[in-house]
Amino acid sequence: MTSTAPGCVLVTVTGKDHPGITARLTGLLADAGAELLDVEQVVVQGRLTLCLLARLPESVGIPRALLFAARELGVALDFQAVETPDPGAPRPARYVVTAVGRALGAGQLHSLTSHLAQAGANVERIVRLSEPHLGSMELHVTLPPALEPQVLKRSLLALSMRDNTFDVALQRESLFRRGKRMVVMDMDSTLIRIEVIDELARAHGVGEQVSRITERAMQGEMDYDESLRQRVALLKGLDVDVLHRLAANLPLTEGAETLVRVLKRLGYRTAVISGGFSVAAEALKARLGIDHAYSNVLEAEGGRLTGRTVGAIVNARRKAELLEQLAAQEGILLEQVIAVGDGANDLLMLERAGLGIAFRAKPRLREAADTSISAGGLDTILYLLGLTGRELQEAG
């Protein structure tokens, strides 16, 4: 036996990976009567790092057999005496920082980790998510008591906006992070790349008038309901065939098909809740296999639009109400719902959901949402769920 004092010892194993290393070393610890308190193992490009935290019996030092075994196995051992962990000590809050981009290089990782270090966050673990390229990773961090998560979230958002090559999300590490069960999406400029009302207005020769009303609404000069009524009124007389042709050929946003396909394979429920129009939303529902679709209904008579809508307008408040009703209908907790949108009328919906994602949105919504996506496609959401590239290939 060595002369190291008994107690807790951190054994760090490094070297070329091959079968049997962990089995051999843990077997020797078990033979010595050691209590295994913690273990972590990672293999990067065939190189192993294995950490074993063990409490040795008072009469036993570090088994010399470990050193002989390491030599036979072709690995290096390092021993460090550490304080015995206090099981009753409060644990710091754990968070996950997810970085997603076209490619994450040393510069991006340096920028992100330097930012976390300056904020006082400690990186405990980094996990690669994407395959085969390094396009997404998770950083598991702990935050000091004085650091408010919302403050860190805003600073990470500012970092990603300055860099503009990757997105960063901060989530509390909890049961619900990987326990989401439903994804609700806006349609125009989120699930699809266009605004349907703008396309219809151009086809009807009233594009400029509709744009002016939209701008007034964005400037706060009129509410959403009134702006929608005025814009729809300008569509009076449009042949409904124009609407159906447009709905049949909607340009999907990058990653939309992958997102919905994988979610369905994994048993998630999906929905479109949109301030757009039902013909388009129902077409997407059928095309992608989405479970639910709610949107505004355009009234038509004699094959032409009347310039009016039917039923309640799907505005910001209605979107949030529909999300709550749908979650209750499906028996899903709000904490298990993800909401995705790009505009101000999505804000309440994003706030009600367990995770609200601003997708290629204006700065105001990005700042208010839980996280934002600007550099990637809709399938980036899958990485925020903690899924790896290998898992996505299996689910795809």
Task: Supply the residues annotated as catalytic.
Answer: 186, 188
Length of the chain: 396
At a CB cut-off of 8 Å and minimum separation 6, what does 224 contact? 217, 275, 313, 315, 316, 345
User: Exposure of 278 by Cβ count < 10 A (0-12 exposed, 13-18 middle, 19+ buried)?
Assistant: buried
State the Cα–Cα distance between residues 183 and 185, nearest whole angstrom. Answer: 7
Q: With 0-12 CB in 10 A as exposed, 13-18 as middle and 19+ as buried, what is 367?
A: middle
Q: Are 183 and 170 in contact (CB under 8 A)?
A: no
CA 306 centroid distance within chain: 41
For the chain, list the strands marked E by DSSP: 8-16, 35-44, 47-55, 75-82, 94-101, 122-128, 136-142, 166-172, 182-185, 269-277, 292-301, 304-310, 337-341, 355-359, 371-373
